[in-house]
Amino acid sequence: MKVTDHIKKANGTTRFSFEILPPLKGQNITSIFDGIDPLMEFNPPFIDVTYHREEYVYKELENGLLEKKVVRKRPGTVGICAAIQNRYHVDAIPHILCGGFSKEDTENFLIDLGFLGIDNVMALRGDAVKSETYFKPEKDGHRYADELVGQISQLNQGLYLDEELQNNTPTNFCIGVAGYPEKHMEAPSLDSDIHFLKEKVKKGATYIVTQMFFDNTKFFQFVAKCRAAGITVPIIPGLKPIATKKQLNLIPHRFSLELPDDLIMEVVKCKDNHAVRQVGIEWCIEQSKELVAQGVPILHYYSMGKSDNIKAIAASVF
């Protein structure tokens, strides 16, 4: 079922959903099920599975030269989605990127998803490859997520890349895109970021999931700005509980967002990461309760494969 239909069916109540990431290459799918099993009692209408593009690693050869190798450390997004739908009978939402994909790769990826009975996709640009500063599209790939959304919408109308194909079956994907309450790190301003978010919606996106935030005011202001800009689709808040002291520096740096001083001070006072995890849970429960009171359609948690803290939060909120 489409995310937008899940929202309609919920009839104004708030549902619980979460995101997982594929295991590192060589690990077993059991670790995925172990992370999902404890969360199923909260009846998620869908589970997102992230996509991880290739990385470059450099291996030193005997002659001292460096050999560049392309590796994907977390493959398996599509297989995990199929396994989730098969095991839990819940919609699985694969993330799909511009990065590393030509338009032809994108089309073939979407054909696979359609055959698997996947109804939703989350369309993203992806970040630059780790060793590069700026995002570079593939030759004949998409530069921004709005172009990718456009291609998926075309396929939903039965328009494939090969114009000579006839009697084509249209796909029927519900398309989600990313929004950034504290603006995307590369965007010159929040207004310009929202301008391009609106482009994604104009090209066919029917819901938005936000980047994590730790101050609900940022989310409420973002939603108000989106509505003022004419974006009417559902906006789903993404939440992540802090779990380690290191994240105090890592999260603002990696995601270009601010942590509230009260949260920082609570974490600083903690003696160990066990205590930090507890602070993160309590903070996220407060955030979640306020968002539910404001009537958000879904609370979407970034589980990172660890379910104990998400379970504790969901148990207090749902």
Choose the binding region for ligand FAD from 33-41, 61-69, 119-127, 240-248 (rule: CB under 6 A): 119-127
What is the CB neighbour count within 10 angstroms for residue 120? 24
Alpha carbon separation from 271 to 101, 106, 282 (Å, rounded): 45, 47, 16
Q: What is the dihedral of CA 29, 30, 35, 36, to 10 degrees?
A: 80
User: Is 14 an interacting residue with respect to ligand FAD (CB under 6 A)?
Assistant: no
**Distance from C-alpha of 160 to C-alpha of 164, rounded to nearest angstrom:** 9
Q: Which is nearer to ligand FAD, 134 or 295 (CB)?
A: 134
Q: Which of residues 163-202 bind ligand FAD (CB under 6 A)?
A: 178, 184, 186-187, 192-193, 196, 199-200
96 has which bridge partners? 123
How far is residue 195's CA from residue 274's CA, in Å, rounded to a whole number? 41
- Tell me how far, at minimum, the Cβ of 152 lies from ligand FAD, in Å: 13
Task: Give the footprint of ligand FAD on residues 234-253 (CB under 6 A).
Answer: 238
Measured from the CB atom, is 91 or 193 closer to ligand FAD? 193
Nearer to ligand FAD, 85 or 273 (CB): 85
CB of 238 to ligand FAD, least distance (A): 5
Among 32, 80, 110, 124, binds ligand FAD (CB under 6 A): 124
Q: How far is CA 277 from CA 240, 271, 318, in A?
A: 11, 11, 20
Handedness of CA 193, 212, 54, 130 (dihedral sign): positive
Stretch that binds ligand FAD, among 120-128, 215-223, 276-284, 303-311 (CB under 6 A): 120-128
Closer CB to ligand FAD, residue 129 or residue 292?
129
Which one, of 231, 193, 221, 233, lies nearest residue 294 by Cα?
A: 221
Torsion of CA 82, 153, 297, 31, to 10 degrees: 20
Which tokens belong to 203?
Answer: 């090209």
CB atoms within 10 A of CB 304: 17
- Touching ligand FAD, residues 140-159 (CB under 6 A): 144-146
The site map against ligand FAD for 15-54 (x = CB under 6 A) is -----------------------------------xx-x-
Q: Which of 32, 97, 239, 242 binds ligand FAD (CB under 6 A)?
A: 97
Give, in degrees to the nearest 5, the angle at Cα 118 between 117 and 124: 155
DSSP letters, 172-212, are --EEEEEE-TT--TT-S-HHHHHHHHHHHHHTT--EEEEEE
Least Cβ distance, residue 23 to ligand FAD (angstroms): 14
For ligand FAD, the closer CB: 119 or 182: 182
Nearer to ligand FAD, 2 or 200 (CB): 200
Residues that bind ligand FAD (CB under 6 A): 50-51, 53, 95, 97, 124-127, 144-146, 178, 184, 186-187, 192-193, 196, 199-200, 209, 211, 238
